[in-house]
Each structure stands twice: as C-alpha cells, then as structure tokens.
Amino acid sequence: MARSKKSSESNTDLKNRKVSNWLRLLPGSSRESPRVQTPRKPLKDTFSLVEPQINAEGVHIWPFSKSCPVDVLFMTTHDRQRVRMNRHGYFEILYLCSGYGVCHIQDRLLPFHEGDLAVIGSTLYHRIECQSESPLTIAALFFEPEFICCDGADDSAGYLTPFLLQDAEFPHIVPAKAGIPRQVLDLMLSIQAELPASTPRARLAVKTYLKMVLMLLVNQYAAYAGTIETFRRQERALDRLRPLFRFIGDNLGSSVQVRQAARMCGMSESYFMNFFKQVTGLSFVAYLNHFRIEQAQRLLAQSDESMVSISQQVGFCDQSYFGTVFRKIAGMTPAAYRRRVRSQPGAIQGRASHIRPVIDGASHTSSASASAGLQR
C-alpha cells in the first residue's frame, strides 16, 4: 500500500515538473505576477509550421494523433511573413503570451492584446497578424470536435456551442480582464503535460482538461444569441466554392480568370466577387495570388529550378509581375527569399515536386457532425 502511494506521488511530481520545465517567467515577473509565461523550448515559427499544410481550398490540415486528436503548441509570428488566410476542420483556441496583433477573421480586424484569448471555429477564414515591433508569442490549442461530441453522452455537443454559433458579429476575442484566458492557459499547460497521450489514463486526463476549458467558454458565451443556422449557412457557402478550389489545386500553372471562376460556381461575375470575398475574407485575385506565392516559396526553398520555371509552374506568365506579387506578399524578392531560407539551419534542399492538395469533404465532416449532435 505504501509502495503504491509512493508511486502515485512520484507520477504527480513528474507531471508537475514537466509543466514547470516548459515555463520561464518573463523578465521582472514572479509566480504571483499576472504577466504571461512562455516555454523554455525553442518556439515554432508559425509561417514555416502552418503555411506548408494549407491546401488550395485554404484548409489547414494538422497531423493529429488518431487516438487523441488534441495538440498544444507555442508559436511565434512576425510581420515579415504572414500565413495566408485559412480555415480548418479542427477547432482552435489561441492565447497571446506576448506582443500585440490583430485577429483577421473574414473581413474583420479584431485587436488582440497580451493575455487575450481568441476562439475560432472551422468555417471562417482567418490569420493572426503581428502589429508589434517584437514577434508575437502564441499558445495554441487545436482539437478535433469529435473527440468531445462522439463520446456517447447525449449532451456532449453542448460543449462546442461557442464554436458552432460564430456569425459575423461573434465576439471571438475574450479579453484578459475577464479572467478566463489565464484559466484556459493553465488548463492548456495541463493538457500539454499529458501529451502524447499514449495511455487510457492520459487520454482521460486530456479530455477532462479540455472539457474544463470548453465549459469556461460555454459560460462566457452563454448570453450570445447565435444560432446553429449560422454554421450551416457558412458550410453551404463553402460547398458552392469547392469545385473552384479543386480546379485551382489541379491546375496550378493555368490562368484562371474571374469570369471562368464565376462560371464554375454558377454565378454572375459581380455576384461571385462579392460572394467569394464574404466567404473567404479575400478577393478572388488576392486569394489566388496568395496560394500561388505559397507554392512558389516551397519550390524556391526545396528546388534549384530557375525563377522563370518556378513562375510559370505557379501560373505567372510574366516573370516581372511574379516578382512584384511575390515582393508584395512575402516582403522580399524571390531571390532574396531563396537565399534567406537556404541560409537557415536545417534548410531542406533538393528537387521538389508539386503535390496536388487533398480536397474532399474531410475538412468539415467532424465539425458538421458536431453541429448535428447539437441539433439533436
């Protein structure tokens, strides 16, 4: 009995040390201070971590563990390289550890201050943009909704209501002064300490901590009068654009005019331009250019092909125009980008081939099933 108790205490101490080892206090702070905490380990660059996993539909695919589709990571982002607008099948909670930025969701720019929390569902195109001189430090919690809503309980989908009711007026930012963001951060760290959740006990712990996070958000948004129809309306809008996204992914080097894109979606040009901007937060031309430049960045980093060849592969017939668009989006010339990436430690070199992005219904199946559970 004594031996069992000692073993239990040792496991608890180990978990506590694991959390503590991840943290360091910012200069001038203490354990009682309200200042933010950041991990000891090197932060992951948001652009290099997220951008390569965004497909032609603008969907970010995260490699979750199948047995426990939850992840917590710390990232840094700056204003030199911006991740293009994207969405994802998973749900996302972001805590801003340091810096100041804006949460760009569709066509809204929401101030994002140190200590604030951002709550983002699966149907809205978004990105975080740095507005401070120093890079942002962000703690991110990603999770697949079915991990919560498919556990057999009749009311499990209720935990996900803050993510399913996000309309054009939804208050995505929970300010630091509300007190909830720091509670959420503490629970995120508890989840991280259990990952990878390779045992039934660890998976149970992760689910329990995640439900505690979600309950805090359910209470925070209890008075918000959104409806499940908001989620379904956005899904229907994305379905109308899906053939176009598939065509863009399959025909990267081909010219795509607005008239052609509108015809694919069964719309007039004027209606299509307004519709596309409303759904994605970007004009069609801006969206197409961001996707093509992201593909060009990958080729520049991973191949020795000429600028002319790369510009043609990603759909630019005029190399001069390619350079202009690249500089506008990436903040530097293609040649400067290649030199910069190649000079970084661990740079991957060698010939790269374009891989057609996977665009099927998988990116929204889980969140759609969550909304169905809520409706029931």
CB 52 within 8 A of CB 222: no
SS3 content of the chain, % helix, strand, coil (to 5): 50, 15, 35
In DSSP terms, which residues pair with 103 in a beta bridge? 110, 128
Radius of gyration of the chain from its Cα atoms, rounded to whole angstroms:
22
Domains of the chain by residue range: 11-228, 253-353
The span from the CA of 139 to the CA of 52, in Å, is 20
pLDDT confidence of residue 216: 97
In DSSP terms, which residues pair with 23 in a beta bridge? 39
CB 299 within 8 A of CB 335: no
**C-alpha angle with apex 25: 116 to 13, nearest 5 degrees?**
105
The span from the CA of 223 to the CA of 122, in Å, is 21
In DSSP terms, which residues pair with 75 in a beta bridge? 44, 138
CB atoms within 10 A of CB 299: 22
Please give, one letter per residue, the 3-state secondary structure of 362-374. HHHHHHHHHHHHH
pLDDT confidence of residue 43: 82
Each of the 376 residues of the chain gets a pLDDT tens digit; together they read 444 444 444 454 555 544 444 444 333 333 333 555 565 666 888 988 898 899 988 999 999 998 899 999 999 998 777 898 999 999 999 999 999 999 999 999 999 999 999 999 988 999 999 999 899 999 999 999 888 865 545 467 678 889 888 888 899 999 999 999 999 999 999 999 999 998 889 989 999 999 999 999 999 998 776 666 666 777 788 889 889 988 988 898 898 999 999 999 999 999 999 898 877 767 899 889 888 988 898 899 889 999 999 999 999 989 899 999 998 887 789 998 888 878 765 444 443 333 333 333 444 555 555 555 555 4
State the DSSP code for 356.
P
Going from the C-alpha of 289 to that of each of 183, 321, 356, the distances in angstroms are 40, 11, 17
State the burial class of residue 35 (Cβ atoms within 10 Å of its Cβ: 0-12, 13-18, 19+).
Answer: middle
pLDDT confidence of residue 87: 94
Query: Looking at this protein, which amino acid is placed at residue 299?
Result: L
The span from the CA of 209 to the CA of 216, in Å, is 11
Phi and psi based region of residue 157 (left: phi greater than 0; alpha: psi -120 to 50; beta: remaining): alpha
pLDDT confidence of residue 282: 74
Selection from 305, 286, 284, 287 nearest residue 296 by Cα: 305
pLDDT confidence of residue 297: 84
In angstroms, how far is CA 332 from the centroid of its own chain?
24
pLDDT confidence of residue 66: 85
Going from the C-alpha of 170 to that of each of 62, 69, 175, 303, the distances in angstroms are 25, 26, 14, 43
The span from the CA of 75 to the CA of 140, in Å, is 8
pLDDT confidence of residue 310: 94
DSSP track, 243-291? HHHHHHHH-TTS---HHHHHHHTT--HHHHHHHHHHHHSS-HHHHHHHH
Question: Which numeric CATH code is attached to 11-228?
Answer: 2.60.120.280
The span from the CA of 243 to the CA of 195, in Å, is 38
CB 220 within 8 A of CB 173: no
The span from the CA of 309 to the CA of 184, in Å, is 48
Question: Which numeric CATH code is attached to 253-353?
Answer: 1.10.10.60
